[in-house]
Amino acid sequence: MAQWIPADTPIMVEVSEPMALLGPLLSPEFGKSVTTELENGKANLKLQEFQGVVAAVELQLGTDWRAGLRRLAGKGLSFCVDPSGATLLAVDGEDEKLLSKLNGIIWQFASSGADQQNQPETVASPNYRGVKTWKIGTNEVHALLGPRLVVGNRTSFLNKVLDLRADAGGKTLASSALFKAAREAVGKEAVASVFLNLQTLRETPGLKKALEEDGNPVTALLLSDTKAALRSASWFALGLYVSGDKLILRTYTDGAAPEVSKWTSFSTLPGAGAELLPPLTVPGTIASLSLYRDLHSFYAAKDALFPERTSGLIFFENMMGIFFSGIDLTEGVLSEVRPDIRVVVAKQQYDPAVGTPATQVPAFAAVLRLKEPEHFGEIVEEAWQKAIGLANFTRGQQALPGLIIDKENQDGVKYTISYYRPPADKSSGAIDARYNFRPSLARPGDYVILSSTDALARDLINAVKQAPSTPAKTSPAVNSLMEIEGPALSAILQANREPMVRKNMVDKGDSREKAESDIQMLLVALGHLDHATLTLRRDAGRPQAQLEIRFK
Amino acid sequence: MKPDPNDPAWAWAPFQPDAARPWDLRLAAHLYRRAAFGGTWPELQRALSEGPQATIDRLVHPTPGAADFNRLYDDYENAAATSAGYGSQAWWLRRMIESPQPLQEQVTLFWHNHFGISNIHVKDNASLCRHIHVLRQHGMGSVEALLDAVLAQPAVWICLGARDNGRRSLSESSVRILMEQYTLGPGHSSDSDVREGARALTGWIISQGELRFVPGEYDAAPKKILGQEGDFDRKALVRILTTHPATGHWLAQKLVRWFISDTAKPSDSLLAPLAKQLTGDGSTAKGVEMLLRSNLFFSAEAYRQKVRSPVELALGIIRPLEGRTGTVRLAADLARLGQELYEPPTIQGWAGGLAWINSLTTLGRAKLAEALLAESGAYEGKLDPAAVAKRHGRATNDGGRQFLVDLYLQGDLGAETIGALAAGPSATGSVDTRAADPRQIAARLASLPEFQLA
């Protein structure tokens, strides 16, 4: 399709093998399972509507929808957006007759609708370049080109495509150097791809803002050189691959961060033998992240990375100065931390004696390693207790309940927990959101565990004791690895179903029935996710992300 | 009887339509604007066929299902109030849109403005949410019961800067507000009344976010307040204040400003009958009912004599179109226009009236109207004027223009302005190429000066 698309088209999505993606979704078993889940979850509002339309179309086409979809769209899908925002979708099938029949049904439906509304002028079928096109209302125009259906939202864009189809001499996307480079990077094995011309798109306000240096150290620490590379890139591409039971999504770009070392030194593993530690796993893990980030070299380069000192940064440094009794943050504190950083998010179990908050926030923890735990461990402990003390003082000023600090022991490791007094009155049902938090600090061996709950801290004490510090068996170029467990993610969302429904109601103004239906669709979709792995790596000096998804 | 808005006998007599003041779409819409944030087409048509007094009966008296509705929304608001952000305010806005008893919400908003309790000082959504529930629960009842319940709320004392009402920490400034702002009005209490009143409130202390009575801190010695002597505690002080004639007068004056006119300066004699409804065996419901039924309410002195607050403006766009929009975003947009629910700027509430309008808010109001009615964007095109016009058999080739004029502005728009709606740039300057688009027409109507007046 790219040979009919104008060269200045900045967004192009191509699905070369739709059945590789849609095949499993079209199986009767999958359909039955989704239908049952949607019905069980009261999401039958949209389902009934959809089923009604599908049944009517099946009857008129004389085929079931699965077979029809294969014959109409089995050869490929392309979608593109031109610089003015006009869109075009091309659907390649193998059955020209069936496509023509479908077009007849749609045309008949549109014409009778326009007549009923006394607006017959809103439907038309003009010819252009010898091709009959159909126009329905103000936002739809389409043409049949053999077994290919081309649908757009503006006649001008469709006409440009028909011009290029008629004159072989025009400049097309297929001949664009950027598009060709992106296609080559993605490779022929991709079942789908996305191409973005960043030279054009970078000027759009949304993307321009997203790529700007926002001075946020957390973003810079996590993404390393990614944003800097995209600021200098001409193109960005996504490739989608199928490998056994997995879908793999991989990013490509021609951009590299200027002054590469500034952006990469803190996230580059130091050569031979150095590899990322495996993510930690505890019961109920939702997501687990392992990062290689040298906090000392990151913060030592802060003036170069963030020339503008924001109020947030100044506040952060002031607080760190208080917590660490004036020890220099870069040379005295961060230099004591090894570059192996791990983060764990897990479902939490609530104490029945305390109650369950209406919105259940998963427990989360950071696991750091100290270079000299004997010397620096107690300094961290002192800083943490000061932080809790300060939080208590601030809450006290607002007449809010504070945290009680206590010490407990887990398998020989003494750790500090803090918690709120249980609510005096639980008769009104769900308890306050603060009961999601029982901030805890544990120091098993050379590790420091900073956890939002004591239960996760205990699980992590066990996890670091059991897991030897062996590499994650990833490529040395990988500096970030995140594992997501589908069932646990689905469970926490299911536990928060009611708050999500309510949020949808006030965010979107939907009725309760509609909000329940939308959330159920999301839960059903997520319910089929088994496992996902996200990695960030540097390939030939360029950042690359890869997402592997395995479905149930 | 000769129409004289300053004559109490005429002003408070129930409105009876006649040839000079017929019961028409204009007056039906006027009633719904003031009592229900705006009426839908079926509500206005029903009001026209039933007449003013029967319509007021329906607006004033609780409808079946109102209690269940309020319980459900209390739950929504409470849950949302445990988090930061506009969650609970968003639910209140949604309640205003959907309530089967919108007058109750209008009165709750009146009391929120009257007490001026603000989260700027309280810094606790849940506490503010409970305060608003109290205003709703007691807002239509006796003023004494309302004030008693309000003063049992920690949010009130935190906002008044009176966390510790101990024997040696009398909070006179908060009692001055209680007397001059909440009950008697200015000029009816002496320094001695304020000091003695503060003694009556001793013993009440905020601890761990809750209001607790500490008997050891209570000053049980006799007090003399507003000429009365005795061992007065908080409850007794509330009774003294709410039964004082000045309180009824002060509240009557505020209710007239809220329901009749921003600029009304009613005489004492005019206010007296209304003040009587609010004190003694009376209630806010009786007072509001008297106001709504009155000749004064349907007179030229009241008609389009109030500037719509941002909340009234937004709901005046949304409710007539029988739709809902996302209210989290709406709460934030209303805050930008100067009316952040839960955060009145001062203890006197929002200044109201012409203070709502300046060059910035005028543009902001037009932009909000455009955003609410746009096909896509922040409000996702949830309001659909064309669909409403079609539902009521008023979809025409002019994009339902006449229907929208009737729905939003009734007969208050000149033919020239109606004609001008079909062309020209939109309120925010962009060139409009879809002059017959009902969304564009509705947005333009809602941006007109006439629409800014309730």
Task: Express each pLDDT in B97-135 by its tens digit.
Answer: 999 999 999 999 999 999 999 999 998 898 999 999 999
Contact A509 B324 (CB under 8 A): yes
In the block, residue with structure tokens 């094995």: A189
Q: How many CB atoms neighbour CB A168 within 10 A?
A: 8
Considering A45-54, B360-369, B423-432, the range whose residues carry the highest mean pLDDT is B360-369
Residues B117 and B157: beta-carbon distance below 8 Å: no
Average pLDDT over residues B296-307: 96
Judged against a pLDDT cut of 70, whether residue A38 lies above it is answered with no
> Domain-by-domain residue ranges, chain B?
18-53, 310-452
Name the amino acid, one letter, at A309.
R
User: Around A308, how many Cα atoms within 13 Å sit in the side-chain half-sphere?
Assistant: 7
Higher pLDDT, A138 or B20: B20
| pLDDT recorded at residue A43 | 52
Interface of B with A in 94-123 (CB under 8 A): 94, 123
Q: How far apart are CA A62 and CA B245, in angstroms?
A: 82
Contact A398 B382 (CB under 8 A): no
Of B8-12, B56-60, B416-420, where does mean pLDDT reach its minimum?
A: B416-420
Contacts of A278 (CB under 8 A, 6+ apart): A290, A467, A470, A471, A472, A473, A481
Judged against a pLDDT cut of 80, whether residue B290 lies above it is answered with yes
Judged against a pLDDT cut of 60, whether residue B427 lies above it is answered with no
Token pair listed for B48 = 């026209």
Contacts of A215 (CB under 8 A, 6+ apart): A306, A308, A310, A312, A313
CB-closest option in B82, B158, B327 to A432: B82
What residues does A253 pair with on adjacent strands?
Answer: A236
Would you place residue B434 in the very low, low, confident or very high pLDDT band (cuts 50, 70, 90)? very low
Contact B123 A428 (CB under 8 A): no
Task: Express each pLDDT in B42-97 by its tens digit.
Answer: 999 999 999 999 999 999 998 889 999 999 999 999 888 877 789 999 999 999 99
Q: How far apart are the first and last CA of chain A?
A: 33
Residues A549 and A513: beta-carbon distance below 8 Å: no
Q: How far apart are CA B446 and CA B374, in angstroms?
A: 13
In the block, residue with structure tokens 């049944």: A55
pTM, entire model: 0.81
Q: How many CB pairs under 8 A join A and B?
A: 57
Contact B209 A507 (CB under 8 A): no
What residues does B87 pair with on adjacent strands?
Answer: none
B69 in reach of chain A (CB within 8 A): no
| pLDDT recorded at residue A37 | 64
Contact B209 A400 (CB under 8 A): yes
DSSP 8-state assignment for residue A4:
G
Token pair listed for B71 = 């319980």
Name the amino acid, one letter, at B115.
F
Taking the CA of residue A365 and the nearest CA in chain B, the distance in Å comes to 21
Q: Phi-psi category of A327—alpha, beta or left, where left has phi over 0 and alpha has psi -120 to 50?
A: beta
Q: Which residues of A touch B154 (CB under 8 A)?
A: 399
| pLDDT recorded at residue A471 | 64
| pLDDT recorded at residue B433 | 41
Taking the CA of residue A427 and the nearest CA in chain B, the distance in Å comes to 13
In the block, residue with structure tokens 């097309």: A172
Q: Which of A288, A222, A184, A241 minimizes the C-alpha distance to A543?
A: A222
ipTM, two decimals: 0.87
Q: How far apart are CA B368 and CA B333, in angstroms?
A: 7
What residues does A480 pair with on adjacent strands?
Answer: A291, A536
Please give the distance of CA B347 from its chain centroid, rounded to a whole number.
Answer: 16
Helices (H), B151-263: 154-159, 172-177, 191-200, 234-243, 245-259
Nearest residue in chain B measured CA to CA from A515: B326
| pLDDT recorded at residue A118 | 61
Considering A352-361, B163-172, B291-300, the range whose residues carry the highest mean pLDDT is B291-300
Contact B326 A499 (CB under 8 A): no
Q: Which residues of B touch A357 (CB under 8 A)?
A: 82
Nearest residue in chain A measured CA to CA from B89: A506
A318 in reach of chain B (CB within 8 A): no
Contact A502 B326 (CB under 8 A): no
Average pLDDT over residues B216-240: 96
Contact B123 A509 (CB under 8 A): no
Q: Which residues of B touch A400 (CB under 8 A)?
A: 124, 208-209
Q: How far apart are CA A96 and CA A104, in angstroms?
A: 12
Residues A378 and A407: beta-carbon distance below 8 Å: no
> Domain-by-domain residue ranges, chain A?
18-166, 173-253, 260-366+453-551
Task: Express each pLDDT in A93-124 by its tens digit.
Answer: 888 888 888 888 887 777 777 666 666 666 77
Judged against a pLDDT cut of 50, whether residue A39 lies above it is answered with yes
Nearest residue in chain B measured CA to CA from A423: B208
Average pLDDT over residues A379-383: 96
A505 in reach of chain B (CB within 8 A): yes
Average pLDDT over residues B161-184: 92
Judged against a pLDDT cut of 60, whether residue B425 lies above it is answered with no
A506 in reach of chain B (CB within 8 A): yes
Residues A286 and A362: beta-carbon distance below 8 Å: yes
Would you place residue A382 in the very low, low, confident or very high pLDDT band (cuts 50, 70, 90)? very high
